[in-house]
Structure 1
Amino acid sequence: MQQANTNLEVVQRFFECYGAGDLETMKREILAEDVTWIIPGHHPLAGVKRGAEEIIDYFSTIAQANFKAEVISLSASEHHVVDVHRGWGEYGEYKIDMNWVLVYQIENGRIKQAQNFAADQHAADQFFWDVWGEKLKPVPARLK
Structure 2
Amino acid sequence: MLQANDNLKLVQKFFECYATGDLETMKSEILAEDVSWIIPGHHPLAGVKKGADEIVAYFATIAKANFKAEVITLSASEDHVVDVHRGWGEYGEHQVDMNWVLTYKIENGRIKEVHNFAADQHAADLFFWNVWGTELKPVPERLKNK
> By the TM > 0.5 criterion, same fold?
yes
Give a deviation string over 1:105-129, Cα, whole Å, max 9, x none: 0011100000000000000000000
Equivalent residue for 2:126? 126
Does residue 81 (structure 1) correspond to residue 81 (structure 2)? The answer is yes
Correspondence list, 1:15-30, <5 A: 15-30=15-30
What is the aligned partner in structure 2 of residue 11 from structure 1?
A: 11
1:48-87 paired onto structure 2 within 5 Å = 48-87=48-87
**2 CA distance for matches of 1:32 and 1:54?**
12
The root-mean-square deviation of aligned C-alpha atoms, in Å, is 0.4
* Cα distance in structure 2, aligned partners of 1:61 and 1:84: 22
Q: Percent identical across equivalent pairs?
A: 79
CA distance in 2, matches of 1:138, 1:100: 30
Aligned to 1:100: 100
Give the CA deviation at 1:81: 0.2
Return the alpha-carbon distance in structure 2 between the equivalents of residues 73 and 124 of structure 1: 21
- Note the residue ranges of structure 2 that are not aligned, 5 or more in a row: none
Q: Following TM superposition, by how much is the alpha carbon of 1:143 offset from its aligned partner in structure 2, in angstroms?
A: 1.4
Q: What's the TM-score, normalizing by structure 2?
A: 0.98
SS in 2 for 1:6: helix
1:74 to partner: Cα distance: 0.2
The Cα shift of 1:142 comes to 1.0
